[in-house]
């Protein structure tokens, strides 16, 4: 009896601690968001969203080119990281016992620990130097490289957790392995995989260092893949490091815009996945 | 059908090769990075050899470079960050996947991922303007008795190891927590129901789920750790950027990523540049070592339990 | 599915269109952070006069500027510290230095008990940053600041954590006035600082100094002026205590104008002259003698001609000191060496 009571008490204590953990994590979040809002909201206006940067001292000036640029390089990165990440995850999950799969997993974990700046230097070496040109493409490559481990590991872990019965059912019905994995197992794990993809996107949208060596930055509006391109993070970084109050305020406004964009995309993607999985399950 | 015939079926081969190509891209990519790091640090490797890992001097003017203070700073700050954040991250993951009512879980997921959406430079700026002054006050208020311990020596500057570890911990919570949450959610309901049927309390059922998903959980923590090892911007703004080895949480120190970020653009000599890249190589090697250790850890976790049935703790309690 | 398909087609179209519409004639440059504000102003003003010339400059740091221009990944570079002979040899061609504007480095401090201005001699600054003078009421400081009540608090040295041209200029001055600094620390963008903590960026240093009682640091004059930060006066070679200003910085360059080397690589710290501010420096733009793109070269030379003459009027209001006329004349002649055909 006492043993039971102890177990129940322990259970309640642990549950309480978990709730506490949530609160503890929410405190810095609230503080940071409040800070970004309070610093950035006052400088955020319509001209900020549509103007190009202006030299200090001139009124107005905005980050329109940086906003478009950020979306651009993140899209390029995702374009090449999502397929590589998901496919590698599928391989590692399907051929889990093999030595190569272990190597792939190891490689992903190692890549995850490489500092963003080292990846930037690497991308500089392979995508900028040979062409003697800073470019949006190189920026996308650097960001893509950073996304791969997160996507790959998430995909792999979640695929392995899908109950074997689902896949076996598909195979028993005569599906090829490819079909079983892509039409049954992967969609079952999709919400979780989506989390991985979104986390990766969120992380790289906020990266500065790799872009400094690849996409550089651009005072003008440009969507040319082969030219330097402006991004919110680099622009915020440059402005924050400058001696001008006006540029500091713009830096905060830029940070606010960045966080808002990442959040909105995250929300939209989640809503879309939820809808997709509902349709898929026929609910 | 004989096994060999299935294995060489064309669609099977296509699947394996197709996904394998992508997997190879990843492996080749990582090897390429390692190789590039080695190639671009050859001058420094030749000049310093293994001394590079053991020397404390970092003098760009005289050309003396040693990486030990940076290795110390990176490991100390990252391990501290993991120690602080893992319980919190797991707590959040457990709460959202097991305990929260349905209406609460979606907003909580959203809020946790919000932490990941904040750019590292914003963390850095917030760190400098809000966290560091708060830590400075905390440091100034340390009771004298504690001050004599090696962990708390030094003037209350605010900037230093403690601020860096705190910022890192906050930054990696969403990563470990989100993956752990997804992994927990994917544990089949049947497993949980089985535990409850055997009379488990909530916590015991959750423990069982944690064990079931243990490789995923360790993976989640490792992802967070990797992030902490490689974080550059936020750390460099609050750690003090002083290469030195100190146990004190109050002391300004330095990390490998921070020194590369700070000095790469301005490196004036080839030896300097190569030394900085060699630091990148050192970090790469350390990440490899940590990965090997964590794999051994998972493997041993699996080994211990293999000889005992999983339901044992619950059965024991019910007796 | 339809929505996805449409969205991805649209995205693809934008990408292709963007790639096709290649940015005509944007000239890319990278380099020092110190002249970034005035360079941005110049490029914008010049673009108003010549709409087809668009120059994109990014403040990645002096070393970065030298690295990139040496590899020709950018058309021009900019640096606060002149290139060494080794660096010039390593470049992909002959690089020319062109001073564009002048700046100064000032000592900033935060001593709440002191309401008046503080004076420093060169050797005193060196001793403070070497960590030899550790308290504000040290006799060395009191000697130079007679009549000022100095507290017994510790001096907290703050320096730049990252490599920077500002550090180079400051160290260059200290090496000239303190043999111990010269042998122990030396001159470079990044140093093995014997004392103090490192903060990132000018605002990092200023922020740290502002929030740490007893702190001392150094930063660009433009930065101190625009952010209204108190800074001290420094003793110059003639023995006068001079507070940095656009006039005193230009005075420092005037002396050098008479013995300017042909490649314009000269240090003007600790300059001669009563009114000269001792911690001053040129900042240079780096251009190839034989650039790869002749059309861009022509535009760039046209810009330089404007910047060295009409452009100088924008300098003082932004906290920079304009170039002395003698130096400008020499440069305009040197610009003709650049092959634009």
Q: Indicate the helix (H) or strand (E) that contains B47.
A: helix B42-48
**pLDDT for B310 beyond 70:** no
Rounded to an integer, what distance in angstroms lies between the CA atom of residue A248 and that of residue A240?
5
Residues of B in contact with A87 (CB under 8 A): 18-19, 21-23
Rounded to an integer, what distance in angstroms lies between the CA atom of residue A105 and that of residue A97?
11
Contact indicator for B139, B156 with CB cutoff of 8 Å: yes
Task: Pick the residue of B120, B137, B236, B266 with the most C CBs within 10 A to test the interface with C by mutation.
Answer: B266
- C180 shares a domain with C124: yes
8 Å CB contact of C198 and B265: no
Closest residue of chain A to B278, computed from CA coordinates = A118
Contact indicator for A240, A219 with CB cutoff of 8 Å: no
Q: Does B36 touch chain A (CB under 8 A)?
A: yes
**In chain C, what is the greatest distance between 2 CA atoms, to the nearest angstrom?**
81
Query: What's the token pair of residue A120?
Result: 């930037």
pLDDT of residue B302: 65
The parts of chain A modelled with pLDDT lower than 70 are 243, 276-283
- Among the partner-chain residues C26, C41, C202, the one whose CB lies closest to the CB of A243 is C202
pLDDT of residue C22: 42
- pLDDT tens digits along C298-336: 999 999 999 999 999 999 888 899 998 888 999 999 999
Q: Does B57 touch chain C (CB under 8 A)?
A: yes
Among C273, C278, C275, smallest CA distance to C234 is for C278
A167: left (phi over 0), alpha (psi -120 to 50) or beta: alpha
- pLDDT tens digits along C126-153: 999 999 999 999 999 999 998 888 898 8
Task: Pick the residue of B91, B175, B188, B258 with the most A CBs within 10 A to test the interface with A by mutation.
Answer: B91
**pLDDT for B217 beyond 80:** yes
Among C66, A124, A211, C31, smallest CA distance to B267 is for C66
- C123 shares a domain with C59: no
- C237 shares a domain with C122: yes
8 Å CB contact of B92 and A21: yes
- C184 shares a domain with C69: no
Residues of A in contact with C57 (CB under 8 A): 219
Global ipTM = 0.82
8 Å CB contact of C63 and B266: yes
Rounded to an integer, what distance in angstroms lies between the CA atom of residue B172 and that of residue B169?
5
- Among the partner-chain residues C62, C187, C211, the one whose CB lies closest to the CB of B61 is C187
- pLDDT tens digits along B94-133: 999 888 888 888 888 888 888 887 888 889 889 988 898 8
A59-282, which class in CATH?
A: mainly alpha
Q: Does C71 touch chain A (CB under 8 A)?
A: yes
- pLDDT tens digits along C194-214: 888 888 778 788 888 888 888
Task: Name which of A205-209, B84-88, C1-5, C195-199 the model is least confident about.
Answer: C1-5
8 Å CB contact of B262 and C63: no
Output A44 or C96, whichever has higher pLDDT: C96
**pLDDT for B180 beyond 60:** yes
- Among the partner-chain residues C63, C186, C187, the one whose CB lies closest to the CB of B267 is C63
8 Å CB contact of B229 and A113: yes
Output C11 or A172, whichever has higher pLDDT: A172
Among B71, C67, B233, B290, smallest CA distance to A116 is for B233
| Paired strand residues for C97 | C286
Q: Looking at B48-194, which runs of residues are DSSP E strands? A: 58-59, 64-65
Structural domain that includes position C40: 25-102+282-337
- pLDDT tens digits along B240-285: 888 888 888 888 899 999 888 888 877 777 888 889 989 989 988 8
Asked whether residue C264 is domain-assigned, the answer is no
Output B213 or C174, whichever has higher pLDDT: C174
pLDDT of residue C2: 61
| pTM for the structure as a whole | 0.81
Question: How big is the A-B interface in CB pairs under 8 Å?
Answer: 305
Asked whether residue C267 is domain-assigned, the answer is no
Across the range B309-317, mean pLDDT stands at 52
Residue C231, helix vs strand vs coil: strand
Contact indicator for C280, C252 with CB cutoff of 8 Å: yes
Query: What's the token pair of residue A8?
Result: 């129940």
Q: Indicate the helix (H) or strand (E) that contains C30.
A: strand C26-31
pLDDT of residue A282: 46
CA distances for C311 relative to A54, B123, C43, C322, angstroms: 17, 38, 10, 9
Query: What's the token pair of residue B241?
Result: 């950027």
Asked whether residue C313 is domain-assigned, the answer is yes
Residue C288, helix vs strand vs coil: strand
- C112 shares a domain with C78: no
- Cα angle vertex C115, ends C109, C118, to 5°? 50
Asked whether residue C55 is domain-assigned, the answer is yes
C146: Cβ–Cβ under 8 A, 6 or more apart, which residues? none
pLDDT of residue A264: 84
Q: Kindly report the CATH number that applies to the domain delimited by B70-316.
A: 1.10.3720.10
8 Å CB contact of B240 and C198: yes
pLDDT of residue C100: 94
Query: Which chains have at least 3 CB atom pairs separated by less than 8 Å from chain C?
Result: A, B
- pLDDT tens digits along C259-310: 888 889 988 888 888 889 999 999 999 999 999 888 899 999 999 999 999 9
- C114 shares a domain with C210: yes
8 Å CB contact of C28 and A228: yes
Residues of B in contact with C164 (CB under 8 A): 266
- C98 shares a domain with C31: yes
Query: What's the token pair of residue A21?
Result: 């953990």
Q: What share of chain A is helix, strand, coil (3-state, %, to 5)?
A: 80, 0, 20
Task: Pick the residue of C6, C7, C31, C40 with the most A CBs within 10 A to test the interface with A by mutation.
Answer: C40
Is the C-alpha dihedral spanning A107, A112, A116, A118 positive or negative? negative
**pLDDT for B45 beyond 60:** yes
- C126 shares a domain with C213: yes
DSSP state, residue B301: H
Report the length, in residues, of chain C.
Answer: 341
Domain total in chain C: 2
Residues of B in contact with C197 (CB under 8 A): 157, 159, 240-242, 252
Domain boundaries, given as residue ranges, for chain A: 2-43, 59-282
Domain boundaries, given as residue ranges, for chain B: 70-316
- C222 shares a domain with C298: no
pLDDT of residue C205: 87
- Among the partner-chain residues B252, B266, B270, the one whose CB lies closest to the CB of C61 is B266
Supply the CATH number for residue C44's domain.
3.40.190.10
- C221 shares a domain with C145: yes
């Amino acid at each position: 009896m006492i043993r039971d009571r102890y177990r129940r008490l322990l259970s309640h204590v642990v549950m309480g601690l978990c709730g506490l953990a949530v609160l503890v994590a929410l405190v810095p979040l609230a503080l940071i968001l409040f800070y970004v809002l309070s610093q950035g909201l006052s400088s955020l206006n319509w001209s900020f969203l549509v103007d190009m940067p202006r030299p200090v001292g001139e009124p107005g000036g905005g980050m329109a080119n940086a906003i478009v640029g950020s979306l651009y390089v993140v899209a390029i990165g995702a374009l090449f990281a999502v397929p590589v990440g998901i496919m590698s995850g599928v391989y590692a999950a399907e051929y889990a016992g093999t030595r190569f799969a272990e190597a792939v997993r190891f490689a992903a974990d190692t890549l995850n620990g490489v500092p963003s700046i080292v990846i930037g230097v690497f991308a500089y070496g392979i995508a900028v130097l040979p062409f003697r040109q800073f470019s949006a493409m190189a920026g996308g490559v650097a960001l893509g490289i950073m996304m791969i481990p997160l996507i790959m590991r998430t995909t792999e872990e979640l695929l392995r957790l899908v109950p074997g019965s689902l896949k076996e059912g598909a195979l028993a019905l005569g599906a090829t392995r490819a079909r079983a994995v892509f039409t049954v197992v992967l969609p079952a794990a999709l919400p979780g995989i989506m989390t991985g993809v979104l986390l990766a996107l969120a992380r790289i949208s906020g990266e500065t260092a790799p872009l400094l060596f690849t996409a550089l930055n651009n005072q003008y509006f440009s969507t040319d893949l082969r030219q330097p391109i402006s991004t919110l993070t680099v622009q915020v970084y440059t402005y924050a490091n400058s001696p001008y109050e006006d540029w500091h305020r713009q830096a905060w406004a830029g940070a606010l815009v960045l966080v808002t964009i990442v959040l909105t995309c995250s929300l939209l993607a989640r809503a879309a996945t939820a809808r997709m999985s509902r349709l898929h399950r026929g609910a | 059908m004989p096994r060999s015939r299935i294995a060489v079926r064309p669609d099977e081969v296509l699947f394996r090769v197709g996904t394998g190509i992508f997997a190879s891209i990843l492996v080749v990519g990582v090897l390429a990075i390692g190789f590039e790091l080695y190639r671009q640090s050859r001058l420094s490797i030749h000049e310093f050899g293994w001394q590079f890992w053991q020397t404390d001097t970092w003098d760009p003017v005289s050309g003396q470079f040693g990486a030990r203070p940076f290795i110390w700073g990176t490991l100390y700050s990252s391990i501290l960050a993991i120690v602080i954040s893992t319980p919190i991250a797991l707590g959040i993951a457990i709460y959202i996947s097991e305990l929260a009512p349905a209406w609460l879980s979606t907003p909580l997921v959203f809020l946790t991922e919000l932490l990941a959406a904040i750019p590292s430079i914003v963390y850095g700026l917030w760190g400098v303007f809000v966290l560091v002054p708060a830590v400075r006050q905390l440091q100034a208020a340390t009771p004298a008795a504690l001050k004599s311990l090696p962990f708390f020596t030094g003037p209350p500057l605010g900037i230093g190891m403690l601020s860096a570890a705190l910022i890192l911990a906050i930054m990696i919570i969403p990563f470990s927590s989100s993956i752990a949450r997804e992994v927990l959610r994917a544990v089949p309901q049947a497993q949980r129901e089985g535990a409850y049927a055997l009379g488990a309390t909530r916590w015991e059922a959750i423990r069982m789920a944690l064990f079931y998903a243990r490789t995923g959980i360790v993976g989640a923590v490792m992802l967070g750790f990797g992030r902490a090892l490689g974080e550059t911007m936020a750390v460099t703004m609050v750690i003090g950027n002083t290469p030195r080895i100190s146990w004190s949480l109050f002391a300004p120190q330095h990390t490998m990523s921070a020194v590369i970020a700070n000095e790469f653009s301005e490196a004036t000599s080839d030896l300097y540049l190569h030394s900085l890249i060699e630091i990148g190589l050192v970090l790469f090697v350390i990440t490899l070592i940590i990965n090997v250790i964590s794999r051994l850890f998972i493997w041993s976790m699996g080994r211990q339990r293999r000889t005992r049935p999983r339901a044992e703790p619950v059965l024991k309690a019910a007796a | 599915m339809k929505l996805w398909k449409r969205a991805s087609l649209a995205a693809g179209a934008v990408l292709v269109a963007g790639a096709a519409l290649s940015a005509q004639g944007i000239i890319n440059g990278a380099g020092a952070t110190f002249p970034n504000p005035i360079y941005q102003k110049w490029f914008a003003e010049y673009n108003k006069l010549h709409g087809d010339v668009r120059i994109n400059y990014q403040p990645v740091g002096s070393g970065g500027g030298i690295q990139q221009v040496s590899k020709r990944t950018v058309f021009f570079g900019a640096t606060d510290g002149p290139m060494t002979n080794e660096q010039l040899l390593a470049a992909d061609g002959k690089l020319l230095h062109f001073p564009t504007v002048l700046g100064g480095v000032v000592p900033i401090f935060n001593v709440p008990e002191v309401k008046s201005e503080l004076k420093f001699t060169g050797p005193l600054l060196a001793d403070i940053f070497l960590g030899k003078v550790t308290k504000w009421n040290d006799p060395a400081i009191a000697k130079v600041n007679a009549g000022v009540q100095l507290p017994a608090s510790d001096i907290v040295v703050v320096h730049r954590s990252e490599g920077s041209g500002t550090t180079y200029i400051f160290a260059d001055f200290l090496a000239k006035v303190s043999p111990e600094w010269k042998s122990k620390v030396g001159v470079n963008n990044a140093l093995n600082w014997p004392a103090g903590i490192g903060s990132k960026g000018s605002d990092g240093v200023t922020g740290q100094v502002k929030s740490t009682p007893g702190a001392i640091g150094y930063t660009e004059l433009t930065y101190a002026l625009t952010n209204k930060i108190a800074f001290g006066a420094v003793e110059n070679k003639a023995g006068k205590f001079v507070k940095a200003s656009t006039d005193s910085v230009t005075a420092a360059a005037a002396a050098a104008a008479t013995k300017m080397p042909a490649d314009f690589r000269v240090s003007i710290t600790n300059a001669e002259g009563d009114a000269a501010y001792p911690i001053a420096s040129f900042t240079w733009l780096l251009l190839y003698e034989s650039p790869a793109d002749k059309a861009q070269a022509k535009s760039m030379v046209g810009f330089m001609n404007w910047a060295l003459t009409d452009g100088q009027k924008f300098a003082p209001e932004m906290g920079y000191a304009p170039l002395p006329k003698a130096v400008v004349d020499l440069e305009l002649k040197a610009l003709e060496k650049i092959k634009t055909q």
